[in-house]
């Protein structure tokens, strides 16, 4: 059981090609990290996998536990177990966090089955407490007026509520102070399990110090150019990405 990406090329709709033949396999239970300089295609990869309408797949395939990911709509991918923690979580005025999560969880139930509201709120409050979030956030509009850190925590809360099989964290560390980073990382680590994988996209070692990856990939100009262990994180932290240019 894995997320398998084969020879994936994609571009901005009617625009530049960003991904140039990505091959990646993330087996269940593993944490993979993707690092790479600005503009290398990290966020594009995450958005293409989730079906963002601004991007289009040119060629290649992606399979989620044997299912053709690109044949599914955005919401079907989520219900099939894929989750994206956004680099910039979106503000949704007028829709409360509670209603948002209820709708998302309700959509996962078989037809005719109703979500148990009492246990829903109980679970949500418990997970909010674990992330150091004020329970007042349940009644607030999704991310509206939230600080950068609060938005990131809210995304992680959603991940904890939806319990996906494959979670992509797109620069979840950006905009987080040290304490928030630790809390968010603790949340992610608590979810590590043999039946769940993570793809952690980041620029910095500090996140990977908290969420220790099993495998690290380096993305450059839309291709995976290195796959290594944690040691490459140290190397990048000290030397930057210049070694990639030297190899060109």
Q: How far is the CB of 52 from other proteins (least distance, A)?
A: 6
Indicate which single residue of 12, 107, 126, 193 sits in contact with other proteins (rule: CB under 8 A): 107
Indicate which single residue of 73, 119, 238, 239 sits in contact with other proteins (rule: CB under 8 A): 73
Q: How far apart are CA 33 and CA 200, in angstroms?
A: 4
Q: How far apart are CA 154 and CA 138, in angstroms?
A: 10
Indicate which single residue of 79, 205, 212, 226 sits in contact with other proteins (rule: CB under 8 A): 79
Q: Is 145 in the site for other proteins (CB under 8 A)?
A: no
Q: How far apart are CA 57 and CA 239, in angstroms?
A: 33
Q: How far apart are CA 191 and CA 187, in angstroms?
A: 7
Indicate which single residue of 67, 68, 108, 234 sits in contact with other proteins (rule: CB under 8 A): 108
Q: Is 53 in the site for other proteins (CB under 8 A)?
A: yes
Q: Is 92 in the site for other proteins (CB under 8 A)?
A: yes
Q: Is 154 in the site for other proteins (CB under 8 A)?
A: no
Q: Is 44 in the site for other proteins (CB under 8 A)?
A: no
Alpha helices in the chain (DSSP H): 42-50, 74-79, 97-106, 117-130, 148-162, 178-191, 205-210, 231-239, 242-247
Q: Is 13 in the site for other proteins (CB under 8 A)?
A: no
Q: Is 66 in the site for other proteins (CB under 8 A)?
A: no
Q: Check residue 52 and report its DSSP letter.
A: -
**Cα torsion through 227, 231, 233, 237, rounded to 10:** -140
Which residues contribute to the site for other proteins (CB under 8 A)?
50-54, 73-75, 77-79, 83-84, 86, 89-95, 99-101, 103-104, 107-108, 141-142, 158, 162
């Amino acid at each position: 059981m894995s997320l398998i990406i084969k020879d994936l090329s994609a571009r901005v709709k009617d625009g530049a090609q960003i991904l140039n033949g990505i091959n990646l396999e993330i087996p269940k239970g593993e944490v993979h990290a993707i690092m790479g300089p600005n503009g290398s295609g990290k966020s594009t990869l995450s958005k293409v996998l989730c079906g963002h309408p601004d991007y289009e797949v040119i060629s290649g395939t992606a399979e989620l536990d044997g299912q053709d990911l690109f044949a599914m709509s955005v919401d079907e991918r989520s219900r099939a177990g894929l989750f994206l923690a956004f680099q910039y979580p979106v503000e949704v005025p007028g829709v409360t966090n509670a209603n948002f999560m209820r709708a998302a969880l309700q959509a996962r139930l078989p037809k005719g089955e109703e979500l148990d509201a009492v246990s829903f709120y109980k679970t949500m409050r418990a997970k909010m407490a674990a992330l150091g979030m004020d329970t007042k956030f349940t009644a607030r509009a999704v991310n509206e007026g939230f600080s950068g850190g609060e938005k990131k925590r809210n995304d992680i809360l959603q991940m904890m509520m939806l319990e996906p099989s494959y979670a992509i964290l797109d620069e979840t560390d950006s905009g987080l102070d040290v304490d928030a980073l630790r809390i968010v990382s603790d949340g992610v680590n608590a979810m590590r399990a043999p039946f769940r994988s993570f793809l952690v996209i980041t620029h910095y070692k500090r996140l990977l110090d908290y969420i220790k990856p099993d495998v690290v990939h380096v993305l450059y100009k839309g291709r995976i150019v290195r796959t290594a262990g944690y040691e490459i994180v140290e190397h990048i932290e000290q030397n930057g990405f210049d070694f990639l240019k030297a190899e060109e």
